[in-house]
Homo-oligomer: A and B are copies of this chain.
Amino acid sequence: MPKVLIAGGGLVGALNACFFANRGWDVEVFDIRMDIRKMEHVPGRSINLALSQRGKASLDAVGLKDYIANSGVKMYARLVHDMDGKTVHRQPYGQPGEHIVSINRRHLNEIMITEAEKFHKVNFNFEHKVIKADPRKKELHVLDLNSDQLHKIKGDLILACDGAHSAVRRSLMAIPHFNYSQEYIEHGYVELNILPKNNDYALEPNVFHLWPRGDFTLIALANRDKTFTVTIFAPFKIFKEQMYDDKSTLNFFKKYFPDAYNLLGDAHILETFNRMEPQTLLNVKCSPHSFGDCILLTGDAAHAMVPFYGQGMNCGFEDCLVLSKILNKFEDNISKALAEYSKTRVKDCHTINDLAMYNYNELKDLVNKLGYKIRKKFDLKMNKHFPSFWIPLYSMVTFTQIPYSEVVEKRAWQDRVLSRTFKTILILGTISIGGFIIHKNQIMRNIFNKP
C-alpha cells in the first residue's frame, strides 16, 4: 500500500488521516504540538466553528457526521441586535429546518485523531516539527523536538495540512510558476466568553448572534456547556484609538453592545483585553496546489481565508473529500490525481476566499440595509417555491455541495434574470402609463369635441 505523510494534525490533517486510513494506506501524521488530548489548554486559533453541508458531507464519508454534529449546537438564523440593547431581528439562514452547527475546534479535533488512530496503519507523531518537503526526493524533513533529531522520511504522497503559515508551502516558494499571495485585512479580533446564567444559556442558543455596527461587529456562538464564545471584529485602528485602556474599552462595549456588555461583565472584558492583543486575520491564495507528483497543499495551507462566511473549515474538509473522490477516479494514480485536483480545486478555493471577503461587508453592514433584506426575503421566497431552480447565494455555499465557482456563476445568472425582469416591468409599466394617457386624451377629446 502507498504511504501518505501528513504535515499537521489539526482539523484538516486529522480528517485526511481518517480518509487515508479508510483507503488502507500507511499514514504518518506529524504535529508540532503535544497530543491535544493530553493538554489542559490548547493554544491557537478561534474556539468556535460553524459546520455546514460541505463539512458534514466530508465527515459523513468517514462515518463521523452524526457523532460530531450531535456534539454541537444548531443555529437556524441570525439574530441581529440593535444599538438600544433590546430590539432584535431574526433572519433565517434558509428554509425551516436548515441550519449550521456551532462546534468546538478542540473537541472535533480530538474525536478525529482518536478515530484515525483506531486503524493500526495510522501513526500520529506529536512534538515533531515539519521543516520542509522535497518534491524530487519525495521526502518530508521532520525535527523530533524531544530528541532534537532531524528525520528525512520518504512517502508516496505528502499532504501539507500545516495551516496558514505552512512550513511545507514556505519550503516550496521558489519553485517556478508557484503563484502566491498573503494579505492581512485591517481588522483584528478578540475572543471573549459569556457564562451560563441560572445554569442556562444567557442568550437564545440556537441562533448566530450578531451586533453589526458598520466598521466593527460582535458575534456570539453557543457552546454545549451553555457558554457563548463572543468575538469582536474591528480595525486595529479602532482597537488602538477607542479601546486603549480599561475605561475606554468598557465604554466602547457599553455604548455599542449594551446587552452583550451586561452579560460579559467588566472584569472578564478587562482581563481578556489585558491578557491578549487583537489577533490578525489572513487571506492566503496560491496556485497550483500540487507540486510534482507527490505534494499537495490542503486546508489553510492552500487557502486560509477570513472567517466571515464560516467556510474555512468546511472548505478544508471538502478538500479531503474532493481528493478522495479524485483518487478513486484515477485508481490511486497519485500523479494524475494531483494534476486533476489542482486543475479543478484551485478556482473553487479562490472563489470562496473572495466570497469570504465579500461577506465581511455583509456581516458588518449590509444586514441592516433595506435593499439587502428585501433581496434576502425574495430569494428565500423564490427558493421555497422553486427549491431546485432558485437557491440563494448563502444557501448554495452553506447547504449544498455545488462547487464554489459554480455557485458564483449561478448567482450571476440570478442577478441577470432579476435585472432583465426589472427592466421588462419598467418598460411594460411605461407602455401601460403611455397607453393610459393616450386613451385618456382620446376620451377627453371625445367629450369636448363631440361631432
Contact = CB atoms under 8 A, between A and B. Distances in A.
A184 interface: yes
Nearest to A179: B183
Interface in A139-182: 165, 170, 173-174, 176-182
A125 interface: no
B176 A165 contact: no
Contact of A173 (B174, B179, B182, B280): B182
A372 B170 CA distance: 43
A179 B179 CA distance: 14
Given A165-B173, A176-B280, A280-B176, A181 B184 contact: no
Contact of A177 (B165, B178, B184): B184
Interface in A178-205: 178-184
A181 B178 contact: no
Copies in the complex: 2
Contact of A184 (B170, B176, B183, B280): B176
Contacts of A179: 182-184
A182 B182 contact: no
A338 to B, nearest CB: 19
Contacts of A280: 176-177
Contacts of A165: 173-174
Nearest to A167: B174
Nearest to A173: B170
Interface string A348-369: 0000000000000000000000
Contacts of A183: 179, 181
Nearest to A183: B179
A178 B180 CA distance: 13
Contacts of A173: 165, 170, 173, 182
A179 B178 CA distance: 17
A179 B281 CA distance: 12
A101 to B, nearest CB: 30
Nearest to A279: B176
Interface in A320-355: none
Contacts of A180: 180-182
A278 to B, nearest CB: 10
Contacts of A178: 182, 184
A346 to B, nearest CB: 14
A87 to B, nearest CB: 37
A184 B178 CA distance: 7
A79 B165 CA distance: 48
Nearest to A176: B280
A173 to B, nearest CB: 6
A40 to B, nearest CB: 26
A42 to B, nearest CB: 19
Interface string A221-247: 000000000000000000000000000
A363 B165 CA distance: 38
Contacts of A184: 176-179
A188 to B, nearest CB: 9
Nearest to A164: B174
Nearest to A188: B176
Contact of A181 (B170, B177, B181): B181
A228 B333 CA distance: 48
A307 B318 CA distance: 40
Q: Which 4 pairs from chain A and chain B are nearest by CB?
A: A181-B181, A165-B174, A176-B280, A177-B184
Interface of A: 165, 170, 173-174, 176-184, 280
21 contacts: A165-B173, A165-B174, A170-B170, A170-B173, A173-B173, A173-B182, A176-B184, A176-B280, A177-B184, A177-B280, A178-B182, A178-B184, A179-B182, A179-B183, A179-B184, A180-B180, A180-B181, A180-B182, A181-B181, A181-B182, A181-B183
Given A176-B280, A180-B182, A181-B181, 5 more contacts: A165-B173, A170-B170, A170-B173, A173-B182, A179-B184
